[in-house]
Amino acid sequence: MCATFDRMILPEQERHEVLIRLTEAVSLLESSMNAQLIPSTGTNLVYAIRGARDGKDIAAVQGGIVSRRGEVHLSGPCVFDAGGDIARIVLTAMKFDPLMRSGAAIQFSRKTLAVIEDMFIECCALDRAKEPPGTTTIDWGVASCCTEGVPEVIYDHATAPHEALIRIIGENPVEIANNIIILSNRIQYREI
C-alpha cells in the first residue's frame, strides 16, 4: 500500500509564494479599485503564511495603499512585517479559522455597506462602546465577531478619534481583491 503525502513546502518557499500571490492581488487593486474606497489614513492588503504567529509572518504593501489625485497608489513593494492593524485582524481571525489568512480595510459608508449586503457577504458589526477595559479594539472586536465562525466583513461606525472602517477577511488576497473590485464596479456611479 502506497501512502500519499501532502506536498511539502519549505518555509522560505511558502514565504515566496505568499509574496507572489499578494503582489498579483495588489496589482489587481491598483488597476481596478475605486480610490474612494480607500480610508483617509490609507489601507493595506495582507496575506499570512500558514500558522502565522505574528506580523513577521504576514506580508503587506510596505507603506500601504493610498489614494493620490483620485488614483490608487502603492507606497512600496510587498514585504513581510508591514501589515499594521490589518495584520493583527488576520492574526485574530486565524485563531478561529486558520484558513482565513488575508485581510484589507476600506472606507465605511452606509451605501457601501448596503452594496456589500446585496452581495450576500456575511457581515458583523462591532460596537466599540461594548469594548471591555484593558483590551484592544482590534483583538476584542474581531474575536467578538468570530464566535460562530469568521465573517467575511467586520465593520464599525466612527467614534472619535477612530475612523469608521469595513474590514474584509478571506482565505487569500486575490479573493479579497476580486470582492473589492466587484464592490468598486457596483458603486462606481453612486456616491459613496
Residue 59 domain-assigned? yes
User: How many angstroms from the chain centroid is the CA of residue 69?
Assistant: 23
CATH code of the domain covering residue 30: 3.40.225.10
Note the pLDDT of residue 4: 40
Residue 114 domain-assigned? yes
| Rounded Cα distance, 152 and 142, in Å | 11
Count of structural domains, the chain: 1
Confidence of residue 2 (pLDDT cuts 50, 70, 90): very low
Confidence of residue 147 (pLDDT cuts 50, 70, 90): confident
Note the pLDDT of residue 138: 76
Q: Is the pLDDT of residue 130 over 80?
A: no
Q: Quick one: which of 58, 55, 50 has its CA closest to 19?
A: 58
β-pairing, 71-74 vs 78-80, is unpaired
pLDDT digits 0-9 by tens, 157-191 = 766 556 889 999 999 999 999 999 999 998 865 55
**Residue 58 belongs to what domain range?**
11-187
Mean of pLDDT values over 87-93: 95
The conformation of residue 38, written as its DSSP 8-state character, comes to S
Residue 4 domain-assigned? no
Confidence of residue 127 (pLDDT cuts 50, 70, 90): confident
Higher pLDDT pick, 86 / 10: 86
DSSP of 12-25: HHHHHHHHHHHHHH
pLDDT digits 0-9 by tens, 43-83 = 999 999 999 999 999 999 999 999 999 899 999 999 999 99
Q: Is the pLDDT of residue 35 over 90?
A: yes
Residue 117 domain-assigned? yes
Residue 192 domain-assigned? no
Q: Which residues pair with 166 in a beta bridge?
A: 106, 155
Residue 43 domain-assigned? yes
